[in-house]
Amino acid sequence: MESQLGDTVWETLPERVRVDLRDVDSLRAVWTRQRQDQPLDVRGAARRELTRERVREWGADPGLTDLLLTGSSVSGEPMTGPHIAALAGRVAELSAVGIPEPALGRPSEGVSVARALRPLRIVLSSAHADDLARAATVPAHPVVRAAHTYAECARVLAEAAGEEPTGAGPSGAHGPPGALPWVLASQVLQRADFPPLLLDPGAPPPDPCTGGDRGERLAILVAHFARLVTGALRGELGRSRTEVPPAQSPVPPLTAVTRRRVLEYVRSRREPVALILRALAPWASATVTSGDGVDGADTGEGCSSRWWTCLELVAGEVSLALYVIVQDVGSPPCGVLAVTANARLVTPEGVRQTLEMSRSDSVTVMPTDCVDDRWPQVRDLVDEAVSRSMNELTRA
């Protein structure tokens, strides 16, 4: 795989992946400017809390948080074989804890399946540790280097355990990620002044050892990591709070257009959805409302301003409220918009969050974007959210 890295890596990646990496770089530039006014201890506390929350979502050993974070004292320490061997020893000491899918807000059908990180059950040889040290220092974009390190670690662990990847699985297949690949990729990113890698339990990384050729697998993994890094940058921007913006500050033009388009598009979906519902339940209804603030639109991502559009579907005793949220990330606003979706299902048994969409399904709108740049992604997000909402409502 090394032949695809170094000076030629940019040319070997598909254009869509290069676009993702350019977007990461643009967002990182905003992130860098925004954090300059923050004290180091405030930035560190925010990063630790975000990492702790993600480890908790995976149901992993709390000690994993410390391993994912380099800390200022070791950020410049070289990724040598002995250093990686020591990290592997600490990872092996973590307890294997799983978290049931329903606890992550996902509906279960039948037996609950635990989603857990793959534990480390082997001892790395010095040769394997040196292989990983070389992978962690290849000359490439930091996101590519992190993905390459993750893939090499997965390969090395399979080899050390006597496993032989068959390559017969579909390209991009998903399986439980390993804690050591996650830790190494996270540390690679932080050594390049990026946030730690925050794997999403709602969208585990693709298996880097099966399906397609190595170049294809790397491209898929890089694209996945680019979305995760985008989410991590946005998450830290959302925790940056230096002052409260004026209550009546004008809405930027790009924000206003994005809000209006989302509202108009959700309205355009109302009647087709209502026709389908009425075929199932004659008295079914679909209504669209909109507003600002946090009502029904709590995404857990810090922001100074948010606006929501709600498509409410009612069929008998069951109702579902789908919220599409446009939020200006950061306080004061940094010009970055996050477009997300969530849904609330109400049945005679109670109320629950029901939309199975991962953080990587959200859309990030950059302040340098033109009006039409992200609209196809936003439209696809709304379409997918409406489709999943209809499925949830009809199943309920």
- Mind listing the pLDDT tens digit for each residue in 22-43? 999 999 999 999 888 788 888 8
Task: Compute φ and ψ for 310, nearest 5 degrees.
Answer: -115, 125
- Asked whether the predicted pLDDT for residue 300 surpasses 60, the reply is no
More confident residue, 162 or 331: 162
- Mind listing the pLDDT tens digit for each residue in 109-118? 332 334 568 7
Q: Which of 38, 65, 64 is nearest to 51 (CA)?
A: 65
Q: What average pLDDT does the chain have? A: 84
Determine the Cα–Cα distance for residues 339 and 307; give it in Å rounded to an integer.
10
pLDDT of amino acid 9? 64
User: Are 142 and 188 in contact, with CB atoms under 8 Å apart?
Assistant: yes
Give 243's pLDDT tier (boundaries 50, 70, 90): low
Section 197-206 average pLDDT: 90
Section 1-30 average pLDDT: 79
Tokens of 173: 């297949």
- Asked whether the predicted pLDDT for residue 230 surpasses 50, the reply is yes
Section 380-394 average pLDDT: 94
Neighbour-count burial of 203, counting CB atoms closer than 10 A to its CB (0-12 exposed, 13-18 middle, 19+ buried): middle
Determine the Cα–Cα distance for residues 198 and 229; give it in Å rounded to an integer.
8
Determine the Cα–Cα distance for residues 187 and 77; give it in Å rounded to an integer.
10
- Asked whether the predicted pLDDT for residue 106 surpasses 50, the reply is no
Give 72's pLDDT tier (boundaries 50, 70, 90): low
pLDDT of amino acid 10? 65
User: Are 284 and 345 in contact, with CB atoms under 8 Å apart?
Assistant: no
Give 340's pLDDT tier (boundaries 50, 70, 90): very high
Determine the Cα–Cα distance for residues 88 and 244; give it in Å rounded to an integer.
43
More confident residue, 206 or 294: 206
pLDDT of amino acid 108? 35
Q: Using DSSP, how many helices (H) and how many strands (E) does the chain show?
A: 11, 8
Determine the Cα–Cα distance for residues 161 and 124; give it in Å rounded to an integer.
10
Strand-pairing partners, residue 306, are 327
pLDDT of amino acid 105? 42
- Asked whether the predicted pLDDT for residue 244 surpasses 70, the reply is no
- Asked whether the predicted pLDDT for residue 302 surpasses 50, the reply is no
pLDDT of amino acid 184? 96
The C-alpha angle 333, 374, 198, rounded to 5 degrees, equals 65
Which H or E run contains 99?
A: strand 98-100
Q: Which of 194, 167, 169 is nearest to 70 (CA)?
A: 194
User: Are 169 and 107 in contact, with CB atoms under 8 Å apart?
Assistant: no
- Asked whether the predicted pLDDT for residue 135 surpasses 90, the reply is yes
Query: What pTM did the predictor assign?
Result: 0.85
pLDDT of amino acid 115? 56
